[in-house]
Amino acid sequence: MDNIYSLSTSAQALMEEFLQAALLFWLPLICLPFGTVLALSRKEGRRPVIAWSVVFLAFMMILFSWVTVPASDSSAGGHLLLSVIGPTILMGLGCFMIIFTGKIPVRRLPEPARPVGLISLILGVSWLVMMHLSSPPIWRHQVNPYWLVWWPTFLLSVILLSSFVIGALLMVGENRRKEASLMAVFGLLFLGLLLAVINMDGSLTTAEEMRSHLWLVSADILGTVIGILIAVVIVAIVVTKYEKSLPEPNTVSELTAEEKELLLMHLGNNLEGGNK
């Protein structure tokens, strides 16, 4: 009887943990995309206000899930998000200011916004570097495992994105060599950071750990790219096969004199000069 009671108690406690995680983490996570879609689908009425309120509340619940549901392993994601939201906002604002003070077809920001954006970007990157070297996010008395994955993923993604932007500027843009050079410097900076991360030990992380996670991240990104390319090729083959299987379209006979006269009459009634 004691064994049955202990098993029943353990199962009940486990179900309570699952229910708490579902209500305080996974449900808010599901509400984020749905709330955003609802908010953007209509600009008038109460729907946008209610939807954005739901999105904000869900986002805050995810940020503090490591406090509300500490027993759930998923709360490590909310803890990481809370840890990197500060430098992420700084880098996002910096990129926004730098981009919208350049040569763009829309309204530009004032010229002093460019150095402010550059400073904001440098502060955000420096913040992340200091986190790696001295104070990485601590979750359950150890380094957050999501940080070990996110940090090299972020650096590698920035390098790949910079390479893509440089190629686009040189191939599609006109007189964009200056911007391409700036992006090259930006990409080389993050390449240097990545090399430093995988060769220098932090206070609570080792270079060997970062190298192993970097290889895993590289494999994930390579697999994703290969999967997308294969999907594109398959779709192209299917569309080509389908179009080849379609019958030849029927040819349309030439307009008769009566049809031409009727057409000219309609043009004359609706368009200036149509009856000529």
The phi and psi torsions of 187 (rounded to 5 degrees) equal -65, -40
Residue 230 domain flag: yes
Spatial contact of 100 and 113, defined as CB atoms under 8 Å apart:
yes
What is the total count of domains within the chain?
Answer: 2
Residue 265 domain flag: no
Average pLDDT, consecutive stretches of 10 residues, N- to C-terminus, the chain (276 residues): 51 63 82 86 79 89 85 84 91 83 69 84 90 86 88 88 82 73 84 87 84 87 90 93 82 80 82 54
- Please tell me the predicted confidence (pLDDT) of residue 11: 46
- Please tell me the predicted confidence (pLDDT) of residue 5: 44
Tally of CB atoms within 10 A around 189: 15
Residue 245 domain flag: no
The answer on 189 and 92 residing in a single domain is yes
The answer on 214 and 97 residing in a single domain is yes
Cα distance between residue 110 and residue 68, in whole Å: 43
64, 164, 187 from 181: Cα distances, Å = 41, 13, 10
The answer on 102 and 211 residing in a single domain is yes
Residue 56 domain flag: yes
Domain that holds residue 224: 83-240
Residue 208 domain flag: yes
The answer on 158 and 46 residing in a single domain is no
Tens of pLDDT, residues 182-209:
788 888 888 888 888 888 888 888 888 8
Of 42, 72, 102, the residue at which a domain comes to its end is 72
Residue 181 domain flag: yes
The number of CA neighbours under 13 Å toward the Cβ of 193 is: 24
